[in-house]
């Protein structure tokens, strides 16, 4: 493991890693360390006087036409009203259908999550990210996994690094096989120690609240797509979900115009439910060639469609490109709950979703493996994944070819 708190040293190290890879060798071999450990570069973002070279993004990503004063028109859907009566559901369905037809983003109020729980979850994240770097590294994310702590995803990439720290952990639905209803709390205790047990219990409760919120959202989405009965197909599909919770921290940045907190991408998950802390904006959505900010609505969650739900609708509802920007003097925190199916569930749209299938059948485990080990999520993730699943000779087929072979995976 390599700890870096100097911008010049960070740039030199990453350049050495890239040059070593081009030459067929590894930095680990030159330094006499294990490959998986030497590849981890830890940057203490609090201490950077200027941006290290690996954090500088291409101008095409950071300098696209932007309308900072023209916010994205994101409807606020009242979930309580949708559950209360038919008129409330009709209004919610109309709002969601319009949003998903244009950009895939909407906000939800009346969700039933106590403000005190949301505040405790945000404050817990703030406390974790204030810990010394060595303490946070006790939860270091292992290569190829989605859980744990990482600074700038330096464990995965050597360029276009995001200016952020994250802590991610899994959450299994209460109905999922083998779930003891304390998986999140157990993760915090076993990874960070007994002193973090209470924080784990807070996030356990928060994730369970997110389960209920996403159930209602799925009911509304199902109705908007003409799948009646309370959106039965989509609700049932996620009844034994295996989701991901992520705490994000975006420190102040000396050169915010040259980097990003999160690069342009579409979420591979089914839905993302985002809680933003306070009125510090950062989320931007690409609509009509311009990056449009999404202003946090007090007490509401921001929801967006992901690639998995796009596949479940056979492309009717599309995931949308978005990013997170950073600020020179303001820090920003957010909590993202990524609704994902059970790992072995086969993702396919309901009958009648379209005569021609746009995507092959796949499992969430395959898509997660693809995005964690072979592909950096962007606007073309699902199309690239479909090609990865299908043998070249069958690229026009409408059915899946099964999991990729070792040869296929090696060529991605």
pLDDT tens per residue, the chain (412 residues)? 444 444 444 444 333 333 333 333 332 322 223 344 434 444 566 566 788 888 899 888 886 555 556 889 999 999 999 999 999 999 999 999 999 988 999 999 999 999 999 999 999 999 999 998 889 989 988 776 788 998 876 555 567 889 999 999 999 876 645 555 678 988 898 889 999 999 999 999 999 999 999 999 999 999 999 886 666 788 888 988 889 999 999 999 999 999 999 988 889 899 999 999 887 889 999 988 889 999 888 999 999 999 999 999 998 998 989 999 999 999 999 999 999 998 889 988 887 666 688 888 888 888 877 876 666 666 677 777 777 777 554 344 333 333 333 222 222 2
**In this structure, are residues 310 and 318 in contact, taking their beta carbons and an 8 Å threshold?**
yes
What's the CA gap between 234 and 222, in Å, rounded? 6
Contact 377, 268 (CB under 8 A): yes
Class of domain 63-375: mainly beta
| Catalytic annotation, pick one of 316, 323, 332, 369 | 332
Answer whether 364's CB lies under 8 Å from 341's CB: yes
CA neighbours closer than 13 Å in the CB half-sphere of residue 328: 4
Active site residue 332: yes
Question: How is residue 29 written in tokens?
Answer: 């071999």
Distance separating alpha carbons of residues 173 and 170, to the nearest angstrom = 10
Please give the Cα distance from 361 to 403 (Å, whole number): 10
For 251-303, what is the HEC assignment?
CCCCCHHHCCCEEEECCCCCEEEEEECCCCCCEEEEECCEEEECCCCCCCEEE
Q: What's residue 354's pLDDT?
A: 62
How far, in Å, CA of 176 to CA of 312, rounded? 20
Long-range CB contact pairs, 12-18, < 8 A, 24+ = 13/41, 14/41, 14/52, 14/53, 14/54, 14/158, 14/159, 15/53, 17/41, 17/158, 18/158, 18/159
CB 348 within 8 A of CB 359: no
Query: Where do the domains of the chain lie?
Result: 63-375
In this prediction, residue 63 carries a pLDDT of: 67
Two structure tokens written together for 61: 């990503």
Q: What pLDDT does 411 receive?
A: 24
Phi and psi torsions of 135, nearest 5° = -70, -40
């Amino acid at each position: 493991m390599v700890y870096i708190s100097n911008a010049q040293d960070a740039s030199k190290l990453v350049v050495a890693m890239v040059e070593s890879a081009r030459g067929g060798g590894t930095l680990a071999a030159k330094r006499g360390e294990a490959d998986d450990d030497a590849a981890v570069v830890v940057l203490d973002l609090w201490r950077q006087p200027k941006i290290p070279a690996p954090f500088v993004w291409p101008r095409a990503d950071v300098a696209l036409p932007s309308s900072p004063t023209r916010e994205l028109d994101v409807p606020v859907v009242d979930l309580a009203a949708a559950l209360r009566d038919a008129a409330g559901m009709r209004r919610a369905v109309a709002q969601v259908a319009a949003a998903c037809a244009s950009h895939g983003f909407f906000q939800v109020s009346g969700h039933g999550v106590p403000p005190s729980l949301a505040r405790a979850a945000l404050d817990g994240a703030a406390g974790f990210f204030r810990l010394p770097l060595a303490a946070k590294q006790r939860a270091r994310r292992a290569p190829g996994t989605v859980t744990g702590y990482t600074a700038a995803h330096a464990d995965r990439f050597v360029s276009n690094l995001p200016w952020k720290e994250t802590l991610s952990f899994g959450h299994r639905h209460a109905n999922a096989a083998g779930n003891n209803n304390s998986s999140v709390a157990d993760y915090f205790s076993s990874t960070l120690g007994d002193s973090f047990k209470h924080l784990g219990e807070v996030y356990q409760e928060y994730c369970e609240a997110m389960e209920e919120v996403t159930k209602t959202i799925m009911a509304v989405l199902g109705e908007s797509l003409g799948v009646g009965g309370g959106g039965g197909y989509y609700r049932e599909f996620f009844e034994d979900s295996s989701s991901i919770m992520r705490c994000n921290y975006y420190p102040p940045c000396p050169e915010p115009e040259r980097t990003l907190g999160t690069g342009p991408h579409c979420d591979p998950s089914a839905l993302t439910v985002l809680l933003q802390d306070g009125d510090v904006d950062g989320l931007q959505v690409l609509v009509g060639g311009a990056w449009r900010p999404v202003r946090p609505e007090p007490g509401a969650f921001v929801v967006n469609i992901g690639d998995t739900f796009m596949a479940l609708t056979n492309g009717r509802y599309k995931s949308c490109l978005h990013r997170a920007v950073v600020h020179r003097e303001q820090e920003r925190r957010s909590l993202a709950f990524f609704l994902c199916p059970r790992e072995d569930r086969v993702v396919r749209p309901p009958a009648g979703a379209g005569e021609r299938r746009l995507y092959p059948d796949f499992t969430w485990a395959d898509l997660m493996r693809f995005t964690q080990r072979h592909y950096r999520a962007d606007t073309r993730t699902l199309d690239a994944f479909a090609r990865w699943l299908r043998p070249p000779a069958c690229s026009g087929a409408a059915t899946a070819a099964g999991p990729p072979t070792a040869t296929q995976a090696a060529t991605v």
